[in-house]
Amino acid sequence: MIDKLHYISQQPENGSHLSAIAQALEAGCKWVQLRVKHQPADVILKYAIGANKLCNQYNAKLIVNDHPEIALKAGAYGVHLGLQDMSVAQARQIVGNRMIIGGTANTFEHVQQRVAEGVNYIGCGPYRFTTTKENLSPILGLEGLKTIARQMRAANMTVPLIAIGGVLPEDITQLMDAGLYGVAVSGGITRAADQKAVVDYSYCCLHAPSINELI
């Protein structure tokens, strides 16, 4: 089961990826993506092992960004691949059939590619401008994501579509009404003054009936 709220780790001003993950887990997050850029593999592996230990303590799932080998060694629940990363087929050979594989998309053509590749969920975005990602793809906004969600329904595609890139908790209701399955949030949780309140609010919005369900 793919959680509707994905926390994407980032290093806070006073702390590390692990401290940020620990706080998010304490606040109630159940799905964590470790996203460490520009670090050697051995450093990322140490983060992944530590993050997986934390997730196990909170009965949460760890996804490792970019690195199937590290995800496997750390005992993670899954791996997330960007469009410029290793292919899904190569990653599947490394991690086997039990591990979740998520993939990034920016267009409906990317979504079709990801579905054909057999990903378990699709992170689609960016929703708005974000400073956490370099080489940002064209911003989709609400209308762009709504169009892709509609195209997926027309094509009978059921792979969970997760909104990514600059998503804030206050965006969740309209994204769910647009036909998204869930959201990925980073700074909106990391920098929150009351993280538990933000996570509780996010889950409440994510599990409330959407306009589509009420029609």
Domains annotated for the chain, with CATH where assigned, are 5-210 (3.20.20.70)
**Cα–Cα distance measured from residue 20 to residue 190, given in angstroms and rounded to the nearest whole number:** 6
Virtual CA dihedral for 132, 137, 141, 145, nearest 10 degrees? Answer: -110
Angle (CA) 20-21-26 rounded to 5° is 100
- In percent, the amount of the chain with pLDDT more than 90 equals 90
Cβ atoms of 61 and 31 within 8 Å: the answer is: yes
Examine the pLDDT at 213 and tell me if it is beyond 60: no
Handedness of CA 28, 32, 36, 40 (dihedral sign): positive
Mean pLDDT, the chain, as a whole number? Answer: 94
Examine the pLDDT at 215 and tell me if it is beyond 80: no
Query: Mind giving me the DSSP string for 45-112?
Result: HHHHHHHHHHHHHTT-EEEEES-HHHHHHHT-SEEEE-TTSS-HHHHHHHH-SSSEEEEEESSHHHHH
- In percent, the amount of the chain with pLDDT more than 70 equals 94
> Can you give the pLDDT at residue 129?
80
Examine the pLDDT at 211 and tell me if it is beyond 90: no
**Cα–Cα distance measured from residue 146 to residue 26, given in angstroms and rounded to the nearest whole number:** 32
> Can you give the pLDDT at residue 209?
83
| Residue range 133-183, pLDDT digits in tens | 566 678 999 999 999 999 999 999 999 999 999 999 999 999 999 999 999
**Cα–Cα distance measured from residue 78 to residue 97, given in angstroms and rounded to the nearest whole number:** 10
Pairwise pLDDT comparison (102 vs 210), residue with the higher score? 102
Picking from 140, 132, 148, the residue whose alpha carbon sits closest to that of residue 191 is 132
| Residue range 93-127, pLDDT digits in tens | 999 999 999 999 999 999 999 999 999 999 999 99
| Residue range 6-46, pLDDT digits in tens | 999 999 989 999 999 999 999 999 999 999 999 999 999 99
Picking from 147, 144, 152, 101, the residue whose alpha carbon sits closest to that of residue 125 is 144
> Can you give the pLDDT at residue 190?
96
> Can you give the pLDDT at residue 212?
59
